[in-house]
A and B are shown apart, each in its own frame.
Chain A
Amino acid sequence: MKNSRKILPFLLLLLFFTSCITQFLPQTNEDKEIIVIEGLITNKPGPNTIKLSKSLPLGGASAAKPLGGCSVSVTDNLSDSYSFTETTEGTYVSDSANFQGVIGRIYTLHILTNTSDNATRFDSYPVEMKPVPAIDSLYYVKQNIKESAEGDPLQQGCTVYLNTHDPSNSTKFYRWEYTETWEFQIPFSVPNNICYVTAGSDVINIKNTSSLGEDRVESYPVKFISNTSDRLNMGYSILVNQFSLSEDEYSYWEKLQNLSEQVGGLYDIVPSSIPSNVYCIDNPDAKVLGYFSVSACSSKRIFIKEYFAGLVDLYTNCADAKAPIGPVIPNLGVTVWIIGSHGPMDPYWILTYDKGCADCTVRGSTTPPDFWPTGK
């Protein structure tokens, strides 16, 4: 229902003859770097991670600027304190033997930065770890991507859906993160031929059931997989983590979702900063980005291995480079990655110049993940 925002492109079109668009980088004189906190404490075993970084100037390089050298700790309402240690720059990890979130406890994050001369203290508001129900089911539905015109090849993809419910009617605000893993193969029989690639969710998945009579989520579309990636070609797996949010945190993610889609047009929602639950003790007006999330977590994984019609072959261009070679192979070892022949007696051909076509480790890893079903 964000229809009003479609008006902007329409306007541009209407004014095809008169309007003009130029790239523009506003002079904001904002050179200050804002601290970004990405923290998640769960009740799962294993280390919990807090990532600290600094915001990047608009339009600048996207290389992250981790914030190292801070001391990070979490306290709970039993006055226990757990310190986190920095593993790589800006990433602070708890000692899994020592610390695991417990449902019902209230956690507070403490950060002491060590930026050159003046150290700054940041605290989060106390956050209670709420219980989370199990994911009832995770399933996928195969779908035709387009109403094919007659004679067009069928194109298929699928959507992964989720069902869950809370019999105690207390969760109401849900968020999901997923991790996808899929198997793919390059079109040449070379050693690094089959790889596994993993990607995290890059969209915000949230749902609010408070307007329903029952705390139940049905057929929530977690992920749509189109035929234009190679996720469905060989084998695909998705792990969904379900979190229960406080209403505050839910509204944080909801606004983030509304504002991150498109920004700054005339009919856009007037943008605003979304307040974090972490604040600077030494300067309460200082801006803080990110959120300190505390939630129990339940997970579910499914595998998809089925025939889908009309999948796009990402490697179709690889064969185009095919060319016969003479006695001297040009650029051998520099750009030529595979040579081969059609038969034992045939001359050698250059099959591809592209490393990505010749070595699957460009995109993934040859080692299947632990959970990958063996024998497949």
Chain B
Amino acid sequence: MKFKIPLLILFLSFWVNLSAQEKYKISFNYKDISFIDFITKVESTLPVKFFYLEDWVKDLRLSDYPDCTTLECVLDNLFKGTTLYYYIDEFGNVVLTKNYTVKISNISSDKNNKFLPPSEYSGGSGENQQLSGSSSVEIGNPAEKNNPGKVTISGYITNKDTKEAVSGVTVFVKKLSAGTISNEYGYFTLTLPRGNHLVQFSFIGMREKSVNLSLNGTGEMNVAMTSVLIPLKETVVSAQKSVTLQRFEVGAEKINISSFKLSPTSMGESDIIKDVLLIPGVQSVGEGSAGFNVRGGSADQNLILLYGAPIYNSSHFFGFFSAVNSDIIKDVTLYKGGIPSRYGGRISSVLDIGSKEGNRNEFAGSAGISPITAHVSVEGPIIKDTLTYILTARTTYSNWIFGMIKNPEIHNSRASFYDLNGRVTYNFNKNNKIDFSAYRSHDDFRFNSDTVYSYNNTIYALNWRHFFTSRFFSSLSINNSSYNYDISSKGIPIEAFVLSHKVNSTGYKADFNWFLGRNEINFGLDLTKYVVRPGSYLPNSDSSLVIPKRIETERAWEGALYFDDKFLLTDFLSLNLGMRMSAYYSFGPQTVLQYNPELSKNKSSVTDTLNFKSGAITSRYGGPEFRVSLNFRISDQSSFKVNYNRTRQYVHLLSNSTSIAPTDTWKLCDYYLKPQIGDQVALGFYEMLFRNSFEASGEIYYKEIRNMLDFKGGTDLIMDENIEKDVVNVKGRAYGLELVIKKTEGKIRYSIGYTYSRTFIKSTGYFSDEIINSGKWFPANFDRPNDLVITFNYLFSRRLSFSSDYTYSTGRPITYPIATYDISNKLLVTYSDRNEYRIPNYSRLDFSLRISGNLRSNRIAHPNWTFSVYNILGRENVYSIYFKRSADIIQGYKLSIFGRAIPSVTFSFDF
């Protein structure tokens, strides 16, 4: 026996020392230096990173600890007798905690973790338990421990640093294959049998966390999660791991801020829309074009929500930059299908931009410059933990660049934009929170002429969140969103004009969430008031002879009642039943022309004029929208989902060009224009592979869209008073297969996504000018059947990461002129059938490298450098093909927007 014990000790110490000494051996003299200096020195010599509050350690000094040559040993000695504890994870992050310890359970011992003395924490029954780090928790009265049956726990998940709610966190008990996802307020609820469970909390961008739960009875458990401090480039992250298995929706994708900040950029500006385009099923008509197309929907069918309000123009610079500054984005969720019933008003997708709240603990900020833009953001508490703010601003200095260029055309041109965001959050108390947000974006440009274009988005939103109980809460909000543009010219004094368009909507929303047993119920009321000024053409100076012309203002209300129940039928089968009853009324005053039904609608077939008085209903539409999904968990590793949803859209974007132009106008449904209706069925299969380190999914969908608009050949839509006579009604159908495989763990992560999809359009008109391509199905402008996206990330170290994207897709369809002819001296061209041809296929490879400066938390600013090369192969991808009459022939040209590799450098720092 005497012999055995020393051997065991020897063996243990050998094992510990071996790994520790290899990694964290202290080779300098630390006697009498302050702890902060010690950290500085350790961080500069060893691959570790400390996380702590300065207050805790500022007075701490080291003394001599004989024979202590490892970091662990020094810390053990130093913290002896204090209330400080520490935890070193496998990545070399050293997390200090005060008053409680970090306890790691159920983690295999080969991970080099240091086990600390047992937790001093003991959970009381029914108490709210604030957790940080991994730990043990007891919920409920231990006396009830042996009662039969299941109990339900619930709680909120917050970000430890910012105190913001974290939505989309997977809460999972692996042994039981039971789990849930925190909702948009960070709230989760989970029903489990009594007993001991290991509950895992995981989310992209957050340190995964496990809690040993001793469950005796019903109770609450609030969890604080820590951000991963070094952003891992994840390119496009759909929900991670079991999130995919758990979500009810087929086709919901969540992107976390930390993942897209690193994407290679075209002009050094990280851009959420560019990352959205990497999601299978999302396409655009060309790089730099505004808008995106989701599963065969047109670009106006995407509901882009910021602060809960729709953004009507989502881009700056015609589409080169998205209109939302990435500094304010917390996360982004794209619903390609399975749109929850609380969303409505657009038929193809919802892009919900989750925005940040100000940091509740301390002042923080960031600033940066890229080749085109500069941005700054500041945030912090006004009253700690209660009243916070966040302000961001972004602008270009392109005008300054233009001014430097000698070429007179450029010298005299201007193009600039800015955007501003502000948000104030007031946490009255535990049960009430109010926030007010404001957003403004502005663009103006002038092309070596006197015509000035300017356009603006403005959003104000007020939201009050109230908790009746922790399981029943409401969110009441009012928001106003407007978009307007002005085109003005004073070049020719007698023709000086200003042409304007404005859309303004005010939304009132009451949303309720109720967690009732195995049900998660969401219901509410959604009202939107629209005021659209379709266009005015007014003189712009006293000498102008322009006859003022204003198209009648349109007014309408859209209302919806919705109800949605996520119900766990069994542990492996869950059902989501949702319905949205929507209704739409447009009101006078309005003048409506009546046409001879025997003839195509045009000026000459007008038979009568109807004059609707102010307040009279000019049109009404509406009906139920069913949103149903079923999630069947086949095993721990795989699940199968089906869903159906119907959506209605009461506003149209009038665009007869291939790509959205800033001068396209919004139009409300009216006497003639019917709402667009979309129906989609989707099936999805999801599988985790190789111990959950790979995630594979396949989704198929079929979609039909009614009442889409196309336009009669050659019509001009700006200042068109009677749009119905230029409309060609079309219907659409789309189907596709989306396959994705992702490696979601480790230093090297990648994903490969392949989509095969088709989108067709068919005119449904009766008269010859309402028929396109003889009434046959033809491919839509954004029909790009083959689409391959590969993303690759390699985290060399915590300070250096590399990422790369590759995109290949079929060229978009195009209508070519096929022949020229001459009629009485006029050289004319004739065209092929609509979209009969395609532009060449698209292929692009990008790289980016991010270098972060020293990451010590006590340093004033953390610098980051990002080096990107966009289109590194220099391929001349065709953006557009256009034709010009030069002398007596029609010459074709192809335009490549990025006809060469575009390097850029972005510098930013956080403070």
Contacts and interface: CB of A to CB of B under 8 A. Distances in A.
Nearest to B720: A1
B605 to A, nearest CB: 8
Contacts of A255: 712-715
A202 B828 CA distance: 11
Interface stretch (A56-64, A107-115, A126-134, A185-193): A56-64
A289 B821 contact: yes
Interface in B815-852: 815-834, 837
Contacts of B289: 266
Nearest to B415: A14
A8 interface: yes
Given A34-B830, A271-B815, A62 B602 contact: no
A340 to B, nearest CB: 35
A355 interface: no
A166 interface: no
Given A247-B603, A251-B769, A62 B888 contact: yes
A265 interface: yes
Interface stretch (A15-23, A222-230, A299-307, A317-325): A15-23
Interface string A3-29: 110111111111110111111111010
A9 B413 CA distance: 12
Contacts of A177: 824
A60 B447 contact: no
B815 A267 contact: no
Interface of chain B, helix or strand or loop or mixed?
mixed
Given A21-B893, A200-B825, A1 B714 contact: no
Contact of A259 (B493, B537, B714): B714
A39 to B, nearest CB: 10
A263 B603 contact: no
Contacts of B658: 266-268, 270
A300 B298 CA distance: 51
A105 interface: no
Given A62-B889, A204-B826, A28 B445 contact: no
A269 interface: yes
A264 B881 contact: yes
A290 interface: yes
Interface string B790-831: 000000000000000000000000111111111111111111
Interface stretch (B55-63, B327-335, B894-902): B894-902
Given A263-B817, A269-B714, A275 B769 contact: yes
Interface string B602-620: 1111100000000000000
Contacts of B768: 275
A263 B883 contact: yes
A27 B453 CA distance: 37
Contacts of A257: 714
Interface string B407-440: 1011001010000000000000000000000000
Nearest to A275: B768
A264 B831 CA distance: 10
Please indicate which of the listed interface residues B537, B772, B894 has the most CB atoms of chain A within 10 Å of its own CB: B894
Nearest to B603: A210
Contacts of A172: 604
A274 interface: yes
Contacts of B100: none
A329 interface: no
Interface in B733-788: 768-769, 772, 774, 781
A256 B819 contact: no
B583 interface: no
B89 interface: no
A201 B825 contact: yes
B659 A267 contact: yes
A292 to B, nearest CB: 12
B318 interface: yes
A36 B821 contact: yes
Interface string A112-124: 0000000000000
Interface residues of B, number: 92
A247 B657 contact: no
Interface in B439-455: 445, 447-449, 451, 453
Among B289, B661, B818, residue most surrounded by chain A Cβ atoms (within 10 Å): B818
Q: How large is the interface on A (under 10, 10 to 19, 20 to 34, 35 or more residues)?
A: 35 or more
A228 B794 CA distance: 65
Which residue among B710, B719, B823 has the maximum number of chain A CB atoms within 10 Å of its CB?
Answer: B823
A354 interface: no
Contacts of B769: 251, 275
A24 B657 contact: no
Given A38-B823, A59-B891, A266 B657 contact: yes
Nearest to B773: A272
B882 interface: yes
A1 B405 CA distance: 30
Contacts of B816: 26, 28, 58, 264
Given A3-B451, A24-B893, A264-B882, A259 B661 contact: no
Contacts of A22: 876, 893-894, 896
Contact of B829 (A9, A13, A260): A260
Interface in B854-906: 876, 879-884, 888-900, 902
Nearest to B882: A264
B896 A23 contact: no
Contact of B656 (A25, A204, A270): A270
A53 B822 CA distance: 9
Given A19-B897, A269-B714, A273-B830, A58 B820 contact: yes
A263 B24 CA distance: 68
B656 A269 contact: yes
B714 A272 contact: yes
Given A23-B892, A28-B837, A201-B825, A18 B881 contact: no
B255 interface: no
Contacts of A267: 657-659, 661
B663 interface: yes
Interface string A23-60: 11110101001101010000000000000010111111
B831 A38 contact: no
Contact of A24 (B663, B881, B902): B881
Given A20-B899, A272-B772, A1 B447 contact: no
B451 A266 contact: no
Give the residue among B286, B288, B831 with the most A Cβ atoms within 10 A. Answer: B831
Residue in B659, B833, B889, B890 with the greatest tally of chain A CB atoms within 10 Å: B890
Q: A24, A25, A61, A260: which has the most chain B beta carbons within 10 Å?
A: A24
Most buried by A among B415, B714, B715: B714
Nearest to A62: B888
B718 interface: yes
B895 A4 contact: no
Nearest to A268: B657
B317 interface: yes
A201 B656 CA distance: 29
Given A58-B820, A60-B889, A264-B817, A10 B286 contact: no
Interface of B: 285-286, 288-289, 317-318, 405, 407, 409-410, 413, 415, 445, 447-449, 451, 453, 487, 493, 499, 537, 602-606, 656-659, 661-664, 710-716, 718-719, 768-769, 772, 774, 781, 814-834, 837, 876, 879-884, 888-900, 902
18 contacts: A9-B447, A18-B899, A21-B896, A25-B892, A26-B837, A28-B832, A28-B837, A30-B832, A36-B822, A60-B889, A62-B820, A62-B827, A263-B817, A263-B829, A265-B880, A270-B711, A272-B713, A289-B828
Given A38-B824, A263-B882, A265-B880, 5 more contacts: A13-B409, A33-B819, A56-B819, A255-B712, A285-B774
Q: Which 7 A-B pairs have the closest CB atoms?
A: A255-B714, A272-B713, A20-B899, A55-B819, A264-B882, A258-B714, A247-B604
Interface of A: 1-4, 6-16, 18-26, 28, 30, 33-34, 36, 38, 53, 55-62, 64, 147, 172-173, 177, 199-204, 208, 210-211, 247, 251, 254-260, 262-275, 285, 287, 289-291
